[in-house]
Structure formats: structure tokens, C-alpha cells
Amino acid sequence: MDLLNTLVDKGLRRELPTREEALAVLATSDDDVLDVVAAAGKVRRHWFGRRVKLNYLVNLKSGLCPEDCSYCSQRLGSTTGILKYSWLKPDEASRAAAAGLAGGAKRVCLVASGRGPTDRDVDRVSETIRAIKDQNEGVEVCACLGLLSDGQAERLREAGADAYNHNLNTSEATYGDITTTHTYADRVDTVSKAHAAGLSACSGLIAGMGESDEDLVDVVFSLRELDPDSVPVNFLIPVEGTPLGKEWNLTPQRCLRILAMVRFVCPDVEVRIAGGREVHLRTQQPLALHLANSIFLGDYLTTEGQAGKADLEMIADAGFEVEGAGEITLPEHRATTAGGGCGSHAEAGCGSHAEAGCGSVCGSHEGGSVCGTAAAAAPAGEPRTDLVAVRRRGAGTDLAPNA
């Protein structure tokens, strides 16, 4: 297919595809999906080899958010029954992070619900960052706290933060249909503040909210222009009790095409599969590793994810290897200019969807999935509510986390 050969050549040269080429990837048929994966896989391997970076979310403050993001279980007026608690103490957050690091994660993503942090909140998070860094040599820390005010990114950087996550989520044209309590421009401003402070910027999207192909291409091209070091791709988990709770628009093949398009547009960036992979990719998750070089380990902010052990087995069985703590994630030309570590919703955790803190969507989605639970096969396109479970373990509980 001439299109794919052209896109591979451009990806190896870090050349931006045309909008028409990106749209054509999304328009390919299910019969061609393996060819699309194989082509984008060449670009992924060129820049990242067969390494898979593991990231781990710690939900520092859950629920009670004043924002109205339609995808989020922590939104104002949510009736989803999620865990609700105020700020974890630094030692509690450090213990939660240790579980993920022990499971192989090299980056910890600290997420808090809310529009954005107060200066006192920045002090709390700074103390938590120092506690985690003191107890875990070489760990990367990404913060995801929502919209930043002047000077806050610099303070987080001084405390030891390596990265800051704030997702664009969707195109500028449709942003007002998803959220009304802050704007698309607010999100762009926060990503710019992180960049300017020397933090590695992390910003991504949520697919499956009813957007068009044009919307998906628009937001990914906007991300390319913002030049984050990492781009988390969330797949909407329609959680009962949220305005988008009935939006089941994705198939595994559609998800693979979206990831391939992101890889072609952002060839040398850490592309992370964030929230919703278990629910929408399901048994096709291993194929997605040929497109993305980063995933979240274990549970998400307010929902359960695949068992950590299953993640590690999946990576090994697919012929990939977990990226070591001493390895540099980004290609040399990006690593030498990146603002912090390797670049990792305000409610979601660093690069995770749904339950991010309303000021930013971080990278893991809201309704994770129930892993290790057998379920009868459902017809293609049917809602898989059986794969969505509210998190009842880990941070904010007395039960051991899933890592």
C-alpha cells in the first residue's frame, strides 16, 4: 500500500504527514489493519526498539472535583460511586508508589482531582515528590494536578518533578461540547507553562467520545505542534453515572488505527496506551505494543486495570521487554532537550483518562477493566460493561494495590 510506505518513510525522517494521509489511516478497513500495524510498528521500533516503559498512577486526592468534564467519574455531581478522599500524606503516597516501582514501573504519576492546585497544594505535592525521590533512586515523577498558575510549574520542578501531564483530550472545535468549566486554551496554556519551566511535557487525548476522524486528526496535529515528550492515548470507558456513559463507539481495530495514526504523526515521541485498553483493545492489546512504547501498570485512578502480572506476561509473550530504570526512554535528539525525565486528566493520572483531575487529563482512563475475570464473548460493538469496575483497592484504602 503506497500510503503506508510513504508514512513509514516520513516517520523514519520525523517528517509530518499531511492531514489527508492521517485521515486515510483512520479510514483503512479492518481487512488492512494488520498491514497498518506492521507499518507503524517499523517506525516504533526504529525510535524505541522493543522496549516498553511502565508507568504507575497514584491518586493523591479522589473525587470532589468542581469541573464538569463529561468523561470523568470525579466530575461535579458524579453519581458513579467512586472512592472519595482528600490528600494522601507524603508517606502514604510514597508507599503506594513503591508498589508500582516494585512491579517494574520506572515512572510514578501523581494525580489529584480538581481544577488546579493552590499554592498550599503545590507544597503538599512537593513534599510528596521529595519523599518518593528520597526513597527510590532514579525514579521519574510526573505530576498531574490540573491547570497551573504562574510559578507553580517552576516550584514543582525545584521539588524534583521530572514531568507534568495535562491532556488536550479532544479537538479545539469540539472541546466546549465535552467541558464548559474551563477552555481548550486553558489546557494549552498549562502545557506551555510546563515546557517553559523545564519540565518534560506530557499531553494526550481521549478517543471514543463521539468525535469525528477530523477531530482526532486535529487534536493529534495540535499535540505535534505543542511538542510534548509523551502522548498518552486514552480510550473512553463509558462509566455509568457520567454524561458519556452510553458512548460505546470503539472496536479493537478502530483503537489500533488510532494508535497507528498517532505514531505516524508523532514518530519519535513516547506514545502511551492509557485508560481503556483492557476494555476496548481486549485480546488485541499485544498488537498495540507494536504501536505504543509505554503503558500504565495495574489500576487507574478510580477504576481497576489488568493485573500487573498479566501486563508483564503480555509484554514478554509479545516479544517485548520492560524498559529498565537506567535506560533512556526518548531518542537521543529528544532526550538531550527534554525538560525532565522521559516525558510521561486533571483528573486522570499522568496520561490516563477518565478520572483525571478535572484540570487535566493525564493518561489513564476512567473505567479501567476487571482483569482476570472471565466474561462471555459479546457481539462486536456491544457495550462491555462487564469489563468496567470501580477501584476499591490501593491508594485511599487499606487493601494492597494492584501492581
Can you list the domains of the chain with their CATH numbers?
2-328+343-372+380-387 (3.20.20.70)
What's the confidence (pLDDT) of residue 338?
A: 60
Band (301; pLDDT cuts 50, 70, 90): confident
The 10 Å CB-count burial string (b at 16+, else e) for 352-380 is bbbbbbbbbbbbbbbbbbbbeeeeeeeee
Q: Is it the case that residue 324 has pLDDT exceeding 80?
A: yes
pLDDT score for 350: 41
Note the pLDDT of residue 388: 85
Catalytic residue check, 342: no
Asked if 202 is an active-site residue, the reply is yes
Query: Residue 66's pLDDT band (boundaries 50, 70, 90)?
Result: confident
314-330 burial, b at 16+ Cβ within 10 Å, e below that, comes to: bbeebebebbeeeeebb
pLDDT digits (tens, 9 = 90+) for 175-190: 999 999 999 999 999 9
Q: Tell me, what's the pLDDT at 83? A: 76
Flag whether pLDDT at 366 surpasses 50.
no
pLDDT at 159 over 60: yes
Residue 65 annotated to the active site: yes
142 an active-site residue?
yes
**What value does the mean pLDDT take over residues 127-149?**
95
- Cell (9 digits) for 349: 493520572
Q: Is the pLDDT of residue 348 over 50?
A: no
What is the pLDDT averaged over residues 384-388? 87
Q: Would the pLDDT of 317 be above 60?
A: yes
Q: Tell me the percentage of the chain whose pLDDT exceeds 70.
A: 88
User: Do the beta carbons of residue 393 and residue 399 sit within 8 Å?
Assistant: yes
Show Cβ contacts of residue 245 under 8 Å, excluding neighbours closer than 6 positions: 238, 239
Does 31 or 244 have the greater pLDDT score? Answer: 31
Q: Quote the pLDDT of residue 165.
A: 98
Instruction: State how far the Cα of 15 lies from the Cα of 267, in Å rounded to an integer.
Output: 9
According to the model, what pLDDT value does residue 19 have? 98
How sure is the predictor about 337, in pLDDT bands with cuts at 50, 70 and 90?
A: low
Summarize the confidence of residues 35-49 as an average pLDDT: 98
Q: How many angstroms separate the CA atoms of 403 and 396, rounded?
A: 15
Q: Mark whether 255 is an active-site residue.
A: no
Residue with cell 484504602: 397
For residue 72, name the pLDDT band (cuts at 50, 70, 90).
Answer: confident
pLDDT at 400 (0 to 100): 84
Give the model's confidence band at 342: pLDDT under 50 very low, under 70 low, under 90 confident, else very high: very low
> Average pLDDT, stretch 114-131?
96
Partners of 352 in the beta sheet? 363
pLDDT band at residue 381 using 50, 70 and 90 as cut-offs: low
Can 14 be counted among the known catalytic residues? no
Q: Is 109 labeled as catalytic in the residue annotation?
A: yes
Q: What is the average pLDDT across 338-363?
A: 40
Q: Which is catalytic among the residues 44, 144, 202, 384?
A: 202
**Does residue 133 register a pLDDT over 60?**
yes
Q: How confident is the model at residue 67 (pLDDT cuts 50, 70, 90)?
A: confident
- Give the active site residue among 75, 142, 187, 334: 142
What is the chain's length?
403
CB 239 within 8 A of CB 388: yes
Q: List, in sequence order, the alpha helices (H) in 330-380.
A: 332-335
Average pLDDT over the chain reads 88
Residue 378 has pLDDT above 60, yes or no: no
Identify the residue with better confidence: 313 or 379.
313
Q: Please enumerate, by residue number, every residue annotated as part of a binding site for [2Fe-2S] cluster.
A: 109, 142, 202, 272
Active-site annotation holder among 65, 266, 350, 358? 65
* Residue 194 burial by Cβ neighbours in a 10 Å radius (0-12, 13-18, 19+): buried
Among residues 109, 144, 350, 362, the one annotated as catalytic is: 109
Mean pLDDT of 15-21: 98
Cell of 400: 494492597
Binding residues for [4Fe-4S] cluster: 65, 69, 72
Q: Rounded to an integer, what distance in angstroms lies between the CA atom of residue 216 and that of residue 219? A: 5
Nearest to 109 by CA among 66, 48, 149, 161: 161
Q: Which of 44, 69, 358, 362 is catalytic?
A: 69
Task: Summarize pLDDT for 267-300 with one digit per residue, the tens.
Answer: 999 999 999 999 999 999 999 999 999 999 988 8
Catalytic residue selected from 157, 263, 272, 334 = 272
Q: Report the chain's C-alpha Rg in angstroms.
A: 19
Average pLDDT of the segment spanning 306-328: 95
What's the pLDDT score for residue 352?
47
Which of 312-321's residues contact partners 24+ apart within 8 Å by CB, and which partners? 312/103, 312/104, 314/285, 314/286, 314/289, 315/52, 315/289, 317/286, 318/286, 318/289, 318/290, 319/50, 320/50, 320/51, 320/52, 320/289, 321/50, 321/51, 321/52
Higher confidence at residue 83 or residue 319?
A: 319
Summarised one tens digit per residue, pLDDT across range 199-254 is 999 999 999 999 999 999 999 999 999 999 999 999 998 888 888 989 999 999 99
Question: What is the percentage of the chain residues whose pLDDT exceeds 90?
Answer: 70
